[in-house]
């Protein structure tokens, strides 16, 4: 049987973070290190394993210029990635300054590699008026979307978000929202689906991307996407199902069947890459979608086409135009 070549070099990853320590809070990093440790088989968990993961994280999270990430993208065939700034600094005295530095660090990378990266700003709505000016400035300086991290301490229909959503809607810039819990000690949103529905209904021209949509309350996420055509499902966190999971096959099938034009590939680099490369995760994901019976044309939507139109990126240079129609079986013209 002929296996089509995966279209390496043309994927678009809509959910990544710069693997640089200074872009995260100490509290969050500690939480990530603990959760990687907790994901190990019980017999492997002990203080020395924890210390090893901490050392690995410390040594690998040094990528201020994005070059390490770029090499991993090249290896995995990822043409373009959305870098998400997260505002973890609301509680810090110098939080606004830190957030400004993090934005600047990201902008430097996009200026250097404009066709490889897009940056979404990140701002905590509890900053009130300041959040509006931070986002406005970020858009003026080249950010093309907003990342929200509700576990920091807000729901997605917080009044203070309305001016931010309005600004995104004006530009047609997406809002990518972390769904589900985060590390221990952070807020677990309890009324996400209701709150998201309110927001996405109030701003119908603003695209709302549900990050990690296959994890946690998938049914609620799918229902939101099926009923509101400005709601997208982003699949990072698929890694939590491990290799060869039947559950993941079923979820991919459901999502692609119901809303094929609004499923987006995301990897959440570097959070699942301390031990496994993006390339290996992508190969595993491709195996799962084949098991799910998702054809090449539909999968190309997930891996790049949906994101390209949402982000208004040029069509892929390595994408030969005859591929898409052939894969869809359209030969009549
Ligand atoms: Zn993330």
Interval 270-283: pLDDT, tens: 989 888 999 999 99
Q: What's the CA-to-centroid distance between 255 and ligand 1, angstroms?
A: 20
Q: What's the CA-to-centroid distance between 84 and ligand 1, angstroms?
A: 7
Q: What's the CA-to-centroid distance between 207 and ligand 1, angstroms?
A: 18
Q: What value does the mean pLDDT of the chain take?
A: 91
Helix (H) or strand (E) run with residue 299 in it: helix 296-300
Q: Residue 63's pLDDT is what? A: 95
Residue range 33-52: mean pLDDT, rounded = 90
User: Residue 159 in contact with residue 137, Cβ under 8 Å?
Assistant: no
Q: What's the CA-to-centroid distance between 46 and ligand 1, angstroms?
A: 26
Which of 54, 71, 138, 152 has the alpha carbon at shortest distance from 102?
138
Q: What's the CA-to-centroid distance between 179 and ligand 1, angstroms?
A: 10
39 has a pLDDT exceeding 90: no
According to the per-residue pLDDT averaged within each range, which of 51-55, 160-164, 322-326 is highest? 160-164
Length of the chain: 333
The structure tokens listed for 285 are: 């994901």
Q: What's the CA-to-centroid distance between 321 and ligand 1, angstroms?
A: 32
Q: What's the CA-to-centroid distance between 209 and ligand 1, angstroms?
A: 12
Q: What's the CA-to-centroid distance between 266 and ligand 1, angstroms?
A: 9
Q: What's the CA-to-centroid distance between 223 and ligand 1, angstroms?
A: 22
Q: What's the CA-to-centroid distance between 25 and ligand 1, angstroms?
A: 14
Q: Please report where in the chains the tokens 């990126």 appear, as a residue.
A: 313
Q: What's the CA-to-centroid distance between 320 and ligand 1, angstroms?
A: 31
317 pLDDT band (50/70/90 cuts)?
low
Q: What's the CA-to-centroid distance between 157 and ligand 1, angstroms?
A: 20
Q: What's the CA-to-centroid distance between 323 and ligand 1, angstroms?
A: 32
For the segment 204-261, what is each residue's pLDDT rounded down to a tens digit?
A: 999 999 999 999 999 999 999 999 999 999 999 999 998 888 999 999 999 999 999 9
Residue range 311-329: mean pLDDT, rounded = 55
Q: What's the CA-to-centroid distance between 15 and ligand 1, angstroms?
A: 6
Q: What's the CA-to-centroid distance between 14 and ligand 1, angstroms?
A: 10
Q: What's the CA-to-centroid distance between 244 and ligand 1, angstroms?
A: 23
Q: Residue 327's pLDDT is what? A: 35
Residue range 111-126: mean pLDDT, rounded = 97
Q: What's the CA-to-centroid distance between 20 and ligand 1, angstroms?
A: 13
Q: Residue 332's pLDDT is what? A: 34
Q: What's the CA-to-centroid distance between 112 and ligand 1, angstroms?
A: 23
For the segment 121-180, what is each residue's pLDDT rounded down to a tens digit?
A: 999 999 999 999 999 999 999 999 999 999 999 999 999 999 999 999 999 999 999 998
Q: Residue 3's pLDDT is what? A: 45
174-210 burial, b for 16+ CB within 10 Å, e for fewer?
Answer: bbbbbbbebeeebeebeebbebbbebbeebeebbbbb
Q: What's the CA-to-centroid distance between 201 and ligand 1, angstroms?
A: 24
Alpha carbon distance 62, 183 (integer Å):
21
């Amino acid at each position: 049987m002929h296996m089509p070549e995966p279209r390496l070099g043309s994927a678009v990853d809509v959910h990544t973070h710069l693997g640089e320590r200074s872009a995260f809070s100490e509290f969050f990093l500690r939480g990530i290190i603990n959760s990687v440790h907790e994901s190990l088989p019980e017999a492997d968990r002990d203080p020395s394993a924890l210390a090893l993961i901490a050392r690995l994280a410390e040594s690998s999270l040094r990528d201020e210029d994005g070059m390490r990430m770029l090499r991993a993208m090249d290896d995995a065939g990822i043409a373009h990635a959305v870098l998400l700034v997260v505002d973890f600094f609301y509680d810090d005295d110098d939080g606004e300054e830190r957030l400004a530095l993090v934005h600047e660090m990201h902008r430097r990378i996009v200026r250097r590699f404009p066709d490889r990266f897009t940056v979404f700003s990140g701002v905590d709505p509890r900053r009130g008026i300041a959040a509006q000016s931070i986002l406005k400035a970020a858009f003026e300086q080249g950010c093309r979307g907003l990342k929200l991290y509700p576990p920091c301490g807000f729901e997605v229909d917080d009044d203070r978000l309305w001016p931010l959503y309005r600004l995104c809607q004006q530009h047609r810039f997406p809002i990518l929202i972390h769904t589900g819990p985060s590390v221990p000690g952070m807020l677990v949103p309890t009324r996400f689906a209701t709150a998201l529905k309110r927001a996405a209904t109030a701003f119908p021209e603003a695209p709302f991307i549900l990050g990690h949509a296959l994890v946690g309350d998938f049914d609620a996420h799918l229902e939101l996407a099926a009923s509101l055509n400005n709601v997208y499902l982003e699949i990072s966190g698929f890694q939590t199902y491990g290799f060869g999971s039947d559950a993941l096959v079923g979820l991919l099938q459901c999502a692609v069947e119901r809303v094929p034009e609004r499923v987006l590939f995301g990897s959440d680099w570097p959070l699942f890459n301390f031990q496994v490369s993006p390339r290996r995760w992508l190969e595993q994901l491709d195996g799962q979608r084949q098991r799910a019976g998702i054809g090449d044309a539909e999968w190309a939507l997930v891996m790049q086409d949906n994101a390209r139109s949402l982000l208004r990126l040029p069509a892929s240079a390595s994408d030969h135009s005859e591929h898409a129609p052939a894969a869809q079986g359209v030969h009549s013209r």
